[in-house]
Amino acid sequence: MKLNSIKFQDYKPEASRTDKYASIIVFFMWPLLGTILSFRHYKFKNSKNIIWFFCIFLGLSFAFSEGSDSSRYRNNLKYLYQKQDYSFTEFLEYVFGEESNTIDFVQPIINFIISRFTDNGFILYGVYGLVFGYFYSRNVWYLINKVRNKVKIEALAFLVLFAILVPPWSINGFRYWTATHVFFYGLIQYFEGNKKGLIVIVCSVFVHYTYILGVFLFAIFFVLGNRLNLYFLVYILSLFLSFVDISAVKSFTEKYSSEKVQNRAGSYLTEEYSEVYFGQEETVNWYMKYRYDFIKILVAGSYFWIFFARQKLIRQNLMMLKLFCIGLIFMSFANINQSIPGMVRFFYIGFMSVTVMLFLFFQLLKFKRRPDWYKFVSILFVFLFCMVEIRIGFDSLSVATMFGNPFTVGWFDKSVSLFQFLFR
C-alpha cells in the first residue's frame, strides 16, 4: 500500500448547531461533564477550548497538600505578597541574583505578577492552569483533528493514553510538566512544517531549565535526521545499559557549567538525595511504583513489532518516521540515565512521541491483518496505567473540581481532596 497518496490533513466536518453550543453551556453548569461532551462534539473546532477552560477551573479548585510542589508555590506567593515594597528590578535580583539557585523564568514571573494583586493560591493555580491548559489542549486536539469518521478501538486507547500521560492535574508540579507540553507542542509544530516550532522548543528551557537536555537531544535529531536503524540500535543497547554514574555527572556539571547551575543541579546529584529519591519509590503501593513499566513494555513491544513487521509503512510517511526517531532518542537517553534521580521524567517525551505515532498508525492506515494479541495487550496496559494516574490525580482534585462550577467553586471546602472525600 502506497502512503504517498494519503493526505494526513485535519478532518473537520461541519458540526450541528446543537453540538456547537452544548458543551459550552454544560461546562458552566458542570465543567466535568462539559469537558466530556467536548470530546463527544469534537467536530466543533472550538471544543478544544473547553479542555483549556477545564484546566483553568481545575487550578481554581485545586486541592493543595502540605509538602507538595503546589504548597511550596502557594507559600512563595504569600511571601511575595508581603513584599509589596519590592520593585520588579529588586524582584529580579532576588530571584536571579548570585545568591539565588533559581534558573527558570516563567514560574517566578507569574508568581510575582499575581502577588501584586493577591496571595490567593487558587488564583495562582488558575493562572497555572491557563498556561498549562493552552499547550495541553492543543497537543490533545492534534490527535483528535486526525479523526475522520470515527475513532478505531486501538487508536482510542492511544488517544486516552496521550491525554493521561501528562494530565491537567500535573500542574501540581507546574514547571516541569508545563515545559513538557510546551516542548512537545513545538516539536509537533516543527514536524508539521512550521519552523516557529523551533522557537517554542527552545522556550521550554525558560519553563524548566532541565529542558536544555531536551533541546540538546532534539539537536541530535536535527543534525542527524531520520536515521531509524541507528536510533533503534542505540535504543536496544540502552535497554541493557544504565551505566551513567552520578558522581561522574556531578563532576562534569562542576567543570563545564556556571556556579548557579551547579548549585541548582548539584542537590539532585548527591548520593544522599539519590537514596532518598529511590527510597521513596520503595514505600509507595506496587501499582504506583510499576505504572511506568506498563508503558515501557508497551512502547518496547510496539517499537519491535513496527520496526521488524511494519517498518515499510512507517518509512512511507514522514510524520510517523520523525515521531518514531525522536521517540527512540528520548527513550534511549532516559534508559541510560535512569539511575539519576528525576531522569525518569524524560521518558515522557518518548512516551508522547510513540503514542502519537501509534495513534496515527492505527487511525489512518488500513490493515489486512491486525494482530489481536497487540490490540488486547495495548488496551490492557493503557487501562492499567490510566487507572493508576487517575488515582494519583484524586490527591490533587477537590470535590469542587468534580461537582462544582465556576459560580459555586467558592462554596466548597477545597482543603479536602477527592481521595480523602471518597476513601477516608
Answer with the residue of higher pLDDT: 374 or 354: 354
Domain that holds residue 61: 1-145
The residue with cell 459550552 is 24
Looking at the domain assignment, is residue 138 inside a domain?
A: yes
Q: What 3-state class would DSSP assign to 353? A: helix
| pLDDT score at 34 | 87
Residue 252 pLDDT greater than 50, yes or no: no
| pLDDT score at 219 | 96
Residue 12 pLDDT greater than 60, yes or no: no
| pLDDT score at 100 | 58
| Whole-angstrom distance, CA of residue 205 vs CA of residue 222 | 17
Residue 128 pLDDT greater than 60, yes or no: yes
| pLDDT score at 2 | 43
Question: Mean pLDDT of all residues in the chain?
Answer: 81
| Whole-angstrom distance, CA of residue 51 vs CA of residue 263 | 38
Lowest mean pLDDT among 34-38, 140-144, 328-332, 338-342: 338-342
Q: Which residues contact 190 (CB under 8 A, 6 or more apart)?
A: 197, 198, 201
Model confidence over 273-317: pLDDT tens digits?
A: 444 444 455 555 666 667 778 888 888 888 888 888 888 888 888
Question: For the residues 120-132, what does the mean pLDDT come to?
Answer: 96
**Number of CB atoms found within 10 A of residue 96's CB:** 14
Q: Which three cell numbers stand for residue 3?
A: 502512503
Looking at the domain assignment, is residue 296 inside a domain?
A: no
The model's confidence at residue 98, banded by pLDDT at 50, 70 and 90, is low
| pLDDT score at 353 | 94
Strand partners of residue 417: 398
Residue 153 pLDDT greater than 60, yes or no: yes
Question: For the residues 32-45, what does the mean pLDDT come to?
Answer: 79
Give the Å distances, CA to CA, from 353 to 162, 166, 226, 275: 9, 13, 14, 31
| pLDDT score at 68 | 82
Model confidence over 202-230: pLDDT tens digits?
A: 999 999 988 999 999 999 999 999 999 99
| pLDDT score at 217 | 95
| Whole-angstrom distance, CA of residue 334 vs CA of residue 210 | 13
SS3 content of the chain, % helix, strand, coil (to 5): 70, 0, 30
| pLDDT score at 1 | 41
Residue 318 pLDDT greater than 80, yes or no: yes
Answer with the residue of higher pLDDT: 67 or 99: 67
Looking at the domain assignment, is residue 182 inside a domain?
A: no
Candidates 7, 10, 37; CA nearest to 25 is 37
| pLDDT score at 283 | 53
Determine contact, residues 206/131, Cβ cutoff 8 Å.
no
**Number of CB atoms found within 10 A of residue 336's CB:** 18
Looking at the domain assignment, is residue 44 inside a domain?
A: yes
Residue 101 pLDDT greater than 70, yes or no: no
| pLDDT score at 331 | 92
Looking at the domain assignment, is residue 90 inside a domain?
A: yes
Q: Which three cell numbers stand for residue 104?
A: 527558570
Looking at the domain assignment, is residue 8 inside a domain?
A: yes
Q: Which three cell numbers stand for residue 223?
A: 543534525
Number of domains in the chain: 1
Q: Which residues contact 296 (CB under 8 A, 6 or more apart)?
A: 347
| pLDDT score at 40 | 76
Output the pTM of the full model.
0.86
Q: What 3-state class would DSSP assign to 152? A: coil
Model confidence over 158-198: pLDDT tens digits?
A: 999 999 999 999 999 999 999 999 999 999 999 999 999 99
| pLDDT score at 17 | 57
| pLDDT score at 263 | 52
Looking at the domain assignment, is residue 309 inside a domain?
A: no
DSSP calls for 164-202 = HHS-GGGGGGHHHHHHHHHHHHHHHHHHTT-TTHHHHHH
Looking at the domain assignment, is residue 351 inside a domain?
A: no
Answer with the residue of higher pLDDT: 51 or 45: 51
